[in-house]
Chains A and B, each alone.
Chain A
């Protein structure tokens, strides 16, 4: 301490000197204490200012302050984030007790919109916020997953329950025209750009790691979601997908304040996909065969017929081998202090989540230091350093969840010896798979008040994300029967400089604030990959002891981009009720050629606080606050590759049927010994005229508070167009040699309505309080322009095609429409010309027990031309409801979430049935096949059956092809997502323990889900809408925790 003090002596002395005049001319000395009305605990860090003078102070850790008053009839202005501001007439009192009331409506919260702080009540844009304490201690590695159902228009969906994995996060619908792509919003962490779209690891075998694992969720003070262009346009080229601002906790009080928080819990071994096992499986399958008149019993697999053979009469639980109860542990510790000369906050987080699938985990250690210094009266230097060390492991490491896929998932008849079981489980945990991430996010900022109302800021930010993975694949689990070692090294390094000037002034009824600035950004991505095959020396698990040649392969990759920006924003308000704001930003990106380089992004918005008008006075008793606002603006996106304007050449000389032999790694690259080089015709042709995508957006909204602010309602209508969106899989003319070409080729629109309703359901005087937050968003998206005269664009493999069609949502499923099952052969339509029954693609005719596919074009042939659009993977309605009950120190909060309108492609059912439909005799035994319980699905067995699906016993017409409308299911769900229970110990007890505060809490997460879909979890489908059913399950979690303030 003394050492630190010595260093701070000079500024401290300076500050004392600056205070000297006030000491000399002190008139009235006032002291006071600020407490939270609800908990009756002191609130440190509250700003107390004297109205009409420049002086002010903040409360210390005991909530106390002193102030020398100088004006006659002094009034105090008391404000603190999250509480209602107050103006208090001092009168002749010299001691004040001030009670703060929580600001439920949040109108006075400050939102940092692009280099400016703006009070929420005065924003003209669509901004939604979540408080850090609402998501505190939820047992997830990343905060994005905690936001499901909390913000209207922010759709958050998990695709995997794997610790630290990526999900689908969209603000006001998807902007991705790439099948399976996710248009993640732009994250801004304490002013530092954190663009996960530009950060996702390339193919390093780490699959799905979410870069947000770098951020400790418990460090978050608040999250603001900027949804419309007025707020996001200042982020220009990066704002198209919406912007999520994250503010971390800042020091508040004078003396060092210490907090420790710990929670522990379990992720429950997930409920397995329901499946019949053992005798029940055999009985079910045999009954089905008998009933359907199966006639090949002689050849039936012994797995089914020989029920006495110990090799096949087991009831092995295949899923159970790979699932487990897993532990979750989290610890946070922090110390912070604020003073006039300096302030700091240091926090450390340790998070350790084990996988409910064996061999998976995610561990994080992330210290965070914020330091702010005032070396001079007008100068502030702040340093923000957020390093994060993340380590993950993914089972065997080759991307598979189970060693078998859904297609041929083994039946329970198989015998698994304890040794085999141990081997299966060991394979998932004992291989070297060192997948380490090091994230360093940092910022240094200099702020100088150049003159009255004029502040200059220079900020330097840096993101350094390194992922290194060392992976060893032992012979025992390697299908190539050799020991292989792999090394991946991924580095993303980005720096950004921003200089800007803020000027703000209030002149009578006019209030103006302006920011003008410039910025420059540079990013380099580096990637090294090395692979060594056939390691022979025992114990070696990295690429060692391999001689040059076919067993050794390496490649390295380096790419770089840069950007220059100019930006400005103006806010003007008149009489604090007429609000106007505009912003303009100009960005140049190195991705585009010099004449297409600059993009202009701008916005204009206006707001009118009607409730401040004199004529509104009579209604004000009921309507306390009413604001209308509207905005229009253009944001952008530059999603193309770093060198998309250059036509890439390739050295690939491989040809159809060519081989280097024996799984030799690397490519054939020469013709008769000469290395070849030519344009990469197999990749989409480059487009030298490629440029920015732009997203014009209109938003009209209102905010209204009713009945003493007990009801607050926010409603928005918006329409956001994607213009000139980049696409690279458009069919090229064959004469160009290219298969596909790229360009700014697609337009689409996302439009919808968002409603947020907050209510306090009980009178404010009651000790029991019940608050409800309900939010819902309706979004519709459809394509408005496609290249080549709006020709449909087809994506996906031949059997799973999804299309972009003008007027339709993105990526509708193309399937054959199914209308039941043919009861008898005679029901199949017959071609009057040939007298033959309807066929599958000119081949086998349809018959009894086959699905009735609609022959759309009436050619008595079911082929690709008969496919129709059938739903899409976009969530059309999303929302959530939080009910919070508090009574004295107790609190209970329940979050339920829902989505509607999303369709999924049920690969689980399709694959299960396909896998055993080829040959019943041989596959019904060893494969689980129809033994899975598909939530009561019924199959046609004999004439007269009215079943959902066709007969399991024949498959002449590829009836389990996933492109059947019966496999497109409603993915809507309602989920009880989270219950939080907490108890704050009374101040008396806390005092007794000589600590500042004590809270215990518990959490239940993913309590249940309701849905009509037959897949194991309707949320776990990928961005393209496909569910394999073999995905990593989303477990239930239970935790208990303790939070102590010292």
Chain B
């Protein structure tokens, strides 16, 4: 027999349980996201590590495409392009003419001038590389060293690239943990940046294999050869040609790369040729580029780009063309250019266009960004040998490249050999993102300032105009930043 009191007790217990169900479960407030990836769920498997490393390249790809950066920094402000106003190049007019202080409202983040004055894209690559360096050591995978090597390569490459564009930039070597409480970082010197890049490149050389873990990643992800090529370039930029030459030779003598027949010259730019050392992948399925890519700015007419029946958006410099390619038998001239006899010749290196729509509409360009390739490193070594007085060695390398292009051996004096190599680089690497830096090295070494059409005068070169300004937006957010010396007070 249950008494009334017991009945009440039961009820109270029931109510108490009701109340307790709410508080008893401590996990109740721990909610992990289902539809958003976070670090909590990542960094466990080889696939995770692979995706994280691939992201470094994807971020680098963004950085080198944003505002057409690779070509805007490397080619536009040189004698390759006419300084006149082309049909559709309003956005790049100031860039190619060295007018980098053009005022741009802070909100107009879409303006290429602003994009090119800002460095966030590179710090994204660096942050992701830092994250990989932090997390990958704890992931058990056979490819751990390779992945780490790739991360170091990306960091080295990004700092090297920024050093060439801005000189000294802030040095960040730790993954960003909390943006809200992060601190301002001042610009390091260019030497500090390059030293870090050298250290990272060396680390990458140690960690990376010659053959990528996945064969289809060859060329578009770093291997030992890419790291050597990078290190050679860093030394050359520093003017340390004594160190540059043997590093460049490590690539050439590896036997891992071979020249593409100059009759098939254009196949280099489709990507992943036997000559490629490091490229940015943009030719796999789902990787095409459309408007605002280099192909769309340099091609024209039905044959190459059906949608542009007018002039090329970025007109080439006719004087430079006829001077560089004064030998009209040059296979590279005849493969890589079209309409040479017209007033609007074009460079067709990036003409691997696929039309998705009926009647040649909806074009997509599938060309990798060719960052380092064998003839680039061969000529870089030639440059280093010429700079260090080994003219014979330099000539051998220079003539190898010339012979392939159907040109006679170089007749340059020893004194002119350095410049002759730079000229050869101009012919070989036209519109490949090298010319600007080649001209800087030329000017530093020989005092010859040849950016064309007064884009950068000799005086301006002395004042350091070849370094880009920082956008005021960056300085607003980081009070420790100081403007690049030449541009102080100009924007």
Contact = CB atoms under 8 A, between A and B. Distances in A.
Interface of A: 448, 450, 456, 458, 497, 499, 518-520, 522, 556-564, 588-590, 594, 597, 642-643, 646-651, 653, 655-662, 668-679, 681, 685, 687-689, 731-739, 741-743, 745, 788, 791, 794, 796-798, 801, 841-842, 863-864
Contact of B357 (A562, A662, A668, A736): A662
Contacts of A788: 477
A650 to B, nearest CB: 7
A798 B185 contact: no
B287 A658 contact: yes
Interface stretch (B26-34, B138-146, B235-243): B26-34
A989 B444 CA distance: 108
A643 B36 contact: yes
B29 A562 contact: yes
Interface stretch (B215-223, B254-262, B409-417): B215-223
B51 interface: yes
A522 B15 CA distance: 21
Contacts of A651: 37, 51
A545 B451 CA distance: 59
B19 interface: yes
13 contacts: A560-B31, A560-B34, A594-B29, A653-B61, A655-B62, A658-B65, A662-B362, A671-B61, A688-B178, A733-B185, A735-B123, A735-B478, A791-B476
A656 B29 contact: no
Contact of A736 (B21, B131, B176, B281): B176
A668 B287 CA distance: 7
B38 A671 contact: no
Interface in B97-124: 103, 105-108, 115, 118-120, 123-124
Contact of B55 (A677, A688, A864): A677
Interface in B5-28: 11-12, 15, 18-19, 21-23, 28
The 6 closest A-B pairs by CB, nearest first: A659-B290, A685-B179, A678-B55, A798-B107, A737-B124, A674-B54
Given A564-B22, A735-B182, 14 more contacts: A562-B29, A589-B29, A646-B38, A656-B67, A658-B288, A668-B286, A669-B286, A675-B51, A681-B127, A687-B179, A733-B182, A733-B478, A736-B127, A741-B180
Contact of A671 (B23, B58, B118, B182): B58
Contact of B364 (A661, A732, A738): A661
Given A659-B289, A734-B119, A559 B180 contact: no
A653 B58 contact: yes
Given A560-B31, A687-B179, A732-B477, A801 B15 contact: no
Size band of the B side of the interface? 35 or more
A518 B24 CA distance: 12
A863 B12 CA distance: 74
Nearest to B121: A737
B401 interface: no
Contacts of A677: 37, 42, 48, 51-52, 55
Nearest to A688: B178
A689 B50 contact: no
Contacts of B56: 678
B19 A672 contact: no
A733 B477 contact: yes
Contacts of A589: 29
A11 to B, nearest CB: 18
B58 A657 contact: no
Contacts of A681: 59, 120, 124, 127
B283 to A, nearest CB: 9
B453 to A, nearest CB: 23
Interface in B167-216: 170, 172, 176, 178-182, 184-185, 216
Nearest to A678: B55
B482 interface: no
B326 interface: no
B348 interface: no
Contact of B179 (A561, A562, A741): A741
A712 to B, nearest CB: 42
Contact of B68 (A561, A564, A657, A731): A657
B257 to A, nearest CB: 19
Contacts of B185: 733, 735
Interface string B465-491: 000000001101110000000000000
Nearest to A658: B289
A556 B35 contact: yes
A456 B33 CA distance: 36
A562 B284 contact: no
A675 B38 contact: no
A1010 B21 CA distance: 58
B475 to A, nearest CB: 9
A677 B132 CA distance: 11
A791 to B, nearest CB: 8
Contact of A590 (B29, B58, B281): B29
B15 A458 contact: yes
Given A672-B220, A679-B127, A559 B286 contact: no
Most buried by A among B29, B37, B51, B56: B29
Contacts of A497: 21-22
B40 A646 contact: yes
A688 B124 CA distance: 20
Contacts of A646: 33, 36, 38-40
Contacts of B21: 497
A687 B51 contact: no
A656 B292 contact: yes
Contacts of B38: 643, 646-649
Contact of B291 (A657, A672, A688, A798): A657
A389 to B, nearest CB: 28
A671 B127 CA distance: 18
Contacts of A864: 105-106
B293 interface: yes
Contact of B54 (A643, A657, A675): A675
A676 B476 CA distance: 32
A98 B449 CA distance: 107
B172 A735 contact: yes
Interface string B289-330: 111110010000000000000000000000000000000000
B264 interface: no
Contacts of A801: 107
Nearest to B16: A499
Contacts of A676: 51-52, 54-55, 57-58
Nearest to B297: A657
A462 to B, nearest CB: 15
Contact of B37 (A519, A648, A672): A648
B356 interface: yes
A458 B22 CA distance: 12
A199 B124 CA distance: 34
Nearest to B52: A677
B423 interface: no
Nearest to A643: B33
Contact of B123 (A736, A741, A863): A736
Contact of B103 (A561, A735, A842): A842
Contact of B65 (A648, A656, A735): A656
A520 B28 contact: yes
B136 interface: no
B378 interface: no
A499 to B, nearest CB: 5
Given A674-B50, A797-B107, A798-B105, A731 B473 contact: yes
Contacts of A647: 38-39
Nearest to B471: A734
A900 B240 CA distance: 72
B89 interface: no
B54 A672 contact: yes
B35 A559 contact: yes
B66 interface: yes
Contacts of B217: 672, 674
Contacts of A563: 29
Contact of A672 (B131, B216, B474): B216
